[in-house]
């Protein structure tokens, strides 16, 4: 069945160029175009597309506001186009928080080695997010995400802290809700093909000891990481290593945003940084990040042949050598299988590997890879990951 696409951009040249690329695939069809956010809202209601591609800077109504309104009324998977600037990165992160599924640079040559690769990437990205179930996001929630979290950082008492006891109770309740929800879904629509069920999560620590927490992710990662990291206390016991597939001009803006929203410290990793507890280090885009046995970070250019820069596999592999079984590694939402090979090396050394469950992923690619390979010991819903981490670490 053909995937129907709405293309939104104020540039007639870009609308035409994107439409040509999309229509070149027999699986895709551009059913309409719009030149501003308000037109996009009207077209979504009229044409009911399967996917929307959205520019950010447009007259009448910008892309971020359009995303907020679309996701509040007629939710649909949205792919943002962004400029590779600090300002463009900040606006793109706003759009992702508002409900957009993913983003691509407007200059395709910035993410592809040649024209054919760029065409394939765009077509594949649209097909991938078209399969994603999206949910209504209220405008009030979307508009207040950044403001409310920033306010809570400035006023720590206003932000609810998760204690070990509270985390344990929340996990137990989540398990109960999960079982009830699964029964309800099967009873109400037994002929449907449900998302693979997530096993009830452990509500007790495994008893292992750790020296570092490592998290790898791609599509859907910015929102997922923010949800997890903002729930961690300022006295978090471990250093955190973050690998997010993202362009080089985006990672500094993303790290700064996380730092302003979280109680822990968050920074873009730099060559020579030494891991310290309560601080998260985000791998810089366009580079590879490795961690030595003394906790020293190495930032390298890496091979041009590698598909991902940064690569989860590369960082996980370095941690397997430096920290062996003292690593708690988590693979979150994302396309492809990056992280599987590195996670296997960690598991061979005795490390603990978790994966995000299918139902809460934007794209169930990377977590599925480690789960299908039998590497992940747990499959966890996104909203429970932070609580599960605190229970595992017996945080006090």
The CA R_g of the chain, rounded to the nearest whole Å, is 21
Contact 247, 111 (CB under 8 A): yes
Question: Among the options 338, 341, 357, 379, which is catalytic?
Answer: 338
Do the strands 288-291 and 297-300 form a parallel or antiparallel pair, or are they unpaired?
antiparallel
Cα of 70 vs its chain's centroid, Å:
20
Residue with tokens 């599960």: 388
- The torsion of the CA quartet 319, 111, 113, 309, rounded to 10 degrees, works out to -10
Q: Are 54 and 79 in contact (CB under 8 A)?
A: yes
42 is known as an active-site residue? no
Question: Active-site residue among 102, 245, 322, 341?
Answer: 245
Question: How far is it, in rounded angstroms, from Cα 43 to Cα 33?
Answer: 8
Please give the distance of CA 148 from its chain centroid, rounded to a whole number.
20
- Active-site option among 25, 83, 218, 311: 218
CA gap 18, 33 in Å, rounded: 10
Residues 174, 381: contact at Cβ < 8 Å? Answer: yes
- Tell me, yes or no, if 338 is annotated catalytic: yes
Assess whether 47 carries a catalytic annotation. Answer: no
Helix or strand or coil: residue 214? strand
What is each CA distance from 261 to 166, 249, 270, in whole angstroms?
21, 20, 21
d(CA 130, CA 144) in angstroms, rounded, equals 27
Phi first, then psi, for residue 270 (nearest 5°) are -125, 150
| Size (the chain), residues | 396
Helix axes 139-154, 248-261, angle to 10 degrees: 70
Active site residues: 218, 245, 338
């Amino acid at each position: 069945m053909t995937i129907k696409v709405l293309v939104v951009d104020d540039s007639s040249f870009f609308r035409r160029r994107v439409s040509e690329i999309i229509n070149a695939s027999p699986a895709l069809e551009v059913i309409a175009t719009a030149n501003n956010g308000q037109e996009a809202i009207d077209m979504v209601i009229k044409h009911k597309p399967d996917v929307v591609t959205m520019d950010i800077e447009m007259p009448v109504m910008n892309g971020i506001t359009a995303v907020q309104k679309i996701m509040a009324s007629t939710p649909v998977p949205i792919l943002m186009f962004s400029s590779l600037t600090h300002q463009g990165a900040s606006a793109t992160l706003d759009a992702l928080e508002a409900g957009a599924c993913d983003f691509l640079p407007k200059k395709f040559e910035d993410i592809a080695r040649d024209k054919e690769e760029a065409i394939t990437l765009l077509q594949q990205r649209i097909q991938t997010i078209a399969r994603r179930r999206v949910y209504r996001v209220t405008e009030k929630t979307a508009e207040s995400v950044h403001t409310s979290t920033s306010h809570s950082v400035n006023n720590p008492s206003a932000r609810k802290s998760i204690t070990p006891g509270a985390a344990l109770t929340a996990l137990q309740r989540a398990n109960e809700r999960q079982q009830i929800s699964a029964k309800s879904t099967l009873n109400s629509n037994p002929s449907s093909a449900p998302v693979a069920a997530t096993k009830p999560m452990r509500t007790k620590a495994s008893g292992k000891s750790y020296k570092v927490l490592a998290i790898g992710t791609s599509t859907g990662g910015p929102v997922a990481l923010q949800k997890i990291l903002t729930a961690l206390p300022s006295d978090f016991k471990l250093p955190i290593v973050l690998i997010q597939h993202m362009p080089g001009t985006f990672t500094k803006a993303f790290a700064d945003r996380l730092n302003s929203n979280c109680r822990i410290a968050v920074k873009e990793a730099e060559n020579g940084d030494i891991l310290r507890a309560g601080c998260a280090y985000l791998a810089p885009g366009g580079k590879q990040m490795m961690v030595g046995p003394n906790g020293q970070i190495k930032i390298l250019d890496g091979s041009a042949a590698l598909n991902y820069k940064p690569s989860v596999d590369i960082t996980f592999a370095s941690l397997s050598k430096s920290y062996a079984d003292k690593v708690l590694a988590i693979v979150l939402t994302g396309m492809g299988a990056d992280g599987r090979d590195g996670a296997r090396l960690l598991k061979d050394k005795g490390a603990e590997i978790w994966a995000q469950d299918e139902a809460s992923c934007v794209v169930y690619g990377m977590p599925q890879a480690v789960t299908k390979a039998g590497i992940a010991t747990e499959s966890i819903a996104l909203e429970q990951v932070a609580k599960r981490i605190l229970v595992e670490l017996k945080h006090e």
